Amino acid sequence: MKIKKNKDDDESCQSSNNPSEWNGRTIEIDDAGTGDLVGDAFIGFRDTVSGKIIFQSVPVGLYNKDNKDVDRPKKHIIKVVMKTLKILNHGKGDRILLCRGDCFNLVREYFNENNIYYEPAIIEGELQDAVEGRFIQHLRKLGITSNKLTKESGAQRYFVLFDWVCRDFPNREYFVKTGFPSWEKKWRKTAERRNKKHLKNNSLKKEQIKKRAKEIFELMFEKPNSLKETFSKGSI
């Protein structure tokens, strides 16, 4: 997850692009999609020695209100973190560079309680690009085709996803992280309203198409010469 840097960031954490020296292996951990409106979230892991990258998913259903209220997404993230560290044969000599995102709050608590060494970091470069790419790939599979959908998180991506939901609401609400407070307070009503407007516009377009098709059909039998004129003028 890309996080804006504050003026004191260098004092509190480091960038994975230019980490401090370490005599051993470093494992980077980052997330994508945890703050996005639509779809599963993904946790990415990178072994900087071998270059191996592993992705783990956090199902969108964990972000509904009931689950989010009891921190089920964060609890699930702890499980996938420990599972993947085991896959990577994490040892005491390894350093973990962990993204500072809120989704890792319980992971940090777990690391501290179990004496697992980690350093807070701004994850940039290869892993960030890879995990954001994995999230975008997931969104494409859901059917989001907009060319404005990019790896860059933020307001533009939010509204690309929101517009996609509006076009087939409520069917697409299934893919929304409905546990976000702003969804129920504001955006859900807006999505319903925009969907009604979209359906109305589509209905008008269909009626126009039917009307034009009927006119052409009538011309075919009543005024064949007029039909030739219609085609030659490119009016359909």
- What are the phi and psi torsion angles at 42 (to 5°)? -135, 140
Domain count, the chain: 2
- Three-state DSSP class for residue 31: strand
CA angle 72, 6, 2 (to 5 degrees): 45
Asked if residue 112 belongs to a domain, the reply is yes
Asked if residue 175 belongs to a domain, the reply is no
Asked if residue 169 belongs to a domain, the reply is no
Say whether both 13 and 129 belong to one domain: yes
Say whether both 93 and 201 belong to one domain: no
- Could you give the CA distance from residue 2 to residue 230 in angstroms, rounded to a whole number? 56
CB-based contact 127:49 (threshold 8 Å): no
Say whether both 19 and 80 belong to one domain: yes
Residue-range definition of the domain harbouring residue 107: 9-147
Say whether both 85 and 196 belong to one domain: no
Asked if residue 119 belongs to a domain, the reply is yes
Query: Tens-digit pLDDT profile for the chain (236 aa)?
Result: 655 544 344 446 889 998 888 999 999 999 999 999 999 999 999 999 999 999 999 999 999 999 999 999 999 999 999 999 999 999 999 999 999 999 999 999 999 999 999 999 999 999 999 999 999 999 999 999 999 999 999 999 999 999 999 999 989 999 999 999 999 999 999 999 999 988 876 655 555 555 565 555 565 666 555 545 555 555 54
Say whether both 141 and 190 belong to one domain: no
What was the pLDDT predicted at 170?
87
Asked if residue 135 belongs to a domain, the reply is yes
- Could you give the CA distance from residue 61 to residue 156 in angstroms, rounded to a whole number? 24
H helical segments located in 34-125: 65-69, 72-87, 105-113
- What are the phi and psi torsion angles at 145 (to 5°)? -105, -5
Asked if residue 1 belongs to a domain, the reply is no
Say whether both 123 and 223 belong to one domain: no
Say whether both 127 and 218 belong to one domain: no
Chosen domain end from 124, 147, 170: 147
- Long-range (24+ apart) CB contacts under 8 A made by 68-75 are 68/177, 68/179, 68/180, 69/179, 71/106, 73/34, 73/41, 73/103, 74/103, 74/104, 74/105, 74/106, 74/107, 75/106
Asked if residue 162 belongs to a domain, the reply is no
What was the pLDDT predicted at 177?
97
182: which 2 tokens?
Answer: 């702003």
Separation in Å, CA 76 to CA 79, 105, 111: 5, 12, 15
For the beta sheet containing 118-122, the strands, ordered from the edge strand earlier in sequence to the opposite edge, are 14-15, 118-122, 95-99, 26-32, 41-47, 53-58
91: which 2 tokens?
Answer: 């040892």
What was the pLDDT predicted at 219?
59
Asked if residue 159 belongs to a domain, the reply is no
CATH number at residue 83: 3.30.420
Say whether both 131 and 211 belong to one domain: no
